Amino acid sequence: MKIPFNKPYLTGNEKARLDEVLVSGKFSGNGDFTKKCQALLESKYQFRKTLLTTSCTDALEIAALLVKVQPGDEVILPSYTFVSTANAFALRGAKLVFADSQPDHPNLDVAALEALITPRTRVIVPVHYGGQACDMQALMQLAQKHSLWVVEDAAQAVDSKLGEKNLGGIGHVGALSFHDTKNIIAGEGGALVINHEEFVNKAEIHWEKGTNRSAFFRGEVDKYGWVDIGSSFLPSELTAAFLLAQLEGIDQIQQLRMQAWNTYYQMLSPLNGKGLQVMPNVPHNAHMFYLVCRSLEERTELIDYLKQQGIASVFHYLSLHKSQYFADKHDGRDLPNADRFTDCLVRLPMFAELGATGAERVAGSVLDFYRTR
Ligand SMILES: *Cc1c(COP(=O)(O)O)cnc(C)c1O
């Protein structure tokens, strides 16, 4: 039997929740289901305020509006990330300053960040790769020292922690994703997490197309109108109802994913030290399991070998500083760690239904591949 790279998981309650929306007759956004999802995220993860969005991409765009990035302002972000991390700020005319990854992890190398800060720097955007936390303590200290905003791209980090804090809840704002490829899904969906008190009301305005409609419905103002720029960032109640079923099943989903992750780690961590690197066993949310091969050739051969065994494994980002869109805008600094992950990182199948049995088969094939190398 073939093992796909990802398989969206259903808890079984999605249909019943969708039926409730159909019966309610209210399909547009910011209704009961949206409010229930937001309340659940806020109480489970101690987030000050959460707003559902149609994607993490949208949540990042609201974040860029909140921090009021102006054309020419500089934003520091990792090169080894998804385009959405960059687009949100590029759309506002910001100058993107790409930072390198750590030598041993795709996350931002916080120790090397201070050298990138100039008088025009306004924002740092850490991305928690694979749901594993960036060094947020050092990063928040650095941000405070230079009066910078911190926007956490926690797209992959739902249900992941750093100490007592949930990821997405540490920076001034955070962004979560509920895309089909993430742990908790809504087809397309996301959430903005607002931790900085002054951003709570402003976020609601950007979210509601630049109007104070939310305040109007709470009876705080007697008319509603256009008070700032914004866009259509709210998901419909159909999306929210589906998401609610997923959020209510989160512990079960996470338990299943953890079983697969732990099996991978147990079987594959002995490969560490032969020049190969297995995803570290530091706190994570079983969002992914990756290996870093010794070369691009070796990675290509491994992916081909697994494909012959009916197993889909995939590489990940292409460094954004070398992308077709950005290469001629980049300032020329080498980012060797990001390049190494671009060439050598491979992700193994990871989804709730994989289970220990599926992970055992995949890991067994990886070990077979390396037996002769
Ligand atoms: C998935 C992902 C996104 C985008 O999420 P969407 O919900 O699809 O918009 C952004 N950043 C990172 C790091 C991601 O992994």
pTM: 0.97
**Spans of the chain below 70 pLDDT:** none
Strand-pairing partners, residue 162, are: 165
Q: Ligand 1: distance of its center to the CA of 176 in Å?
A: 8
Q: Ligand 1: distance of its center to the CA of 218 in Å?
A: 32
pLDDT (0 to 100) of residue 122: 98
Residue among 165, 182, 223, 274 flagged as catalytic: 182
Q: Ligand 1: distance of its center to the CA of 310 in Å?
A: 27
Q: What does residue 78 show for φ and ψ, rounded to 5 degrees?
A: -70, 150
The ligand 1 atom at the shortest distance from the C-alpha of residue 60 is 10
Domains and CATH numbers, the chain: 14-248 (3.40.640.10), 250-371 (3.90.1150.10)
The ligand 1 atom at the shortest distance from the C-alpha of residue 84 is 10
Letter for the amino acid at 84?
Answer: S
Dist. CA 260–CA 20, nearest whole Å: 33
- Helix, strand, coil shares of the chain, percent, nearest 5, are 40, 15, 40
Interior/surface letters 117-156, b for 16+ CB within 10 angstroms, e for the rest: beeebbbbbbbbbbbbbbbbeebbebbeeeebbbbbbbbb
The ligand 1 atom at the shortest distance from the C-alpha of residue 58 is 9
Assess whether 182 carries a catalytic annotation. yes
Dihedral of CA atoms 260, 265, 270, 272 in degrees, nearest 10, equals 130
pLDDT (0 to 100) of residue 93: 97
- Give ligand 1 pocket residues (Cβ under 6 A): 55-57, 81-82, 84-85, 127, 153, 155-156, 177, 179, 190
The ligand 1 atom at the shortest distance from the C-alpha of residue 128 is 13
Q: Ligand 1: distance of its center to the CA of 82 in Å?
A: 6
pLDDT (0 to 100) of residue 373: 86
- CB under 8 Å to 177, separation ≥6 — which residues? 55, 56, 155, 156, 158, 189, 190
Dist. CA 98–CA 101, nearest whole Å: 10
Q: Is 219 left (phi over 0), alpha (psi -120 to 50) or beta?
A: left
Radius of gyration of the chain (CA): 21
Q: Ligand 1: distance of its center to the CA of 181 in Å?
A: 9
**Closest protein CA for atom 1 of ligand 1:** 155
- CB under 8 Å to 163, separation ≥6 — which residues? none
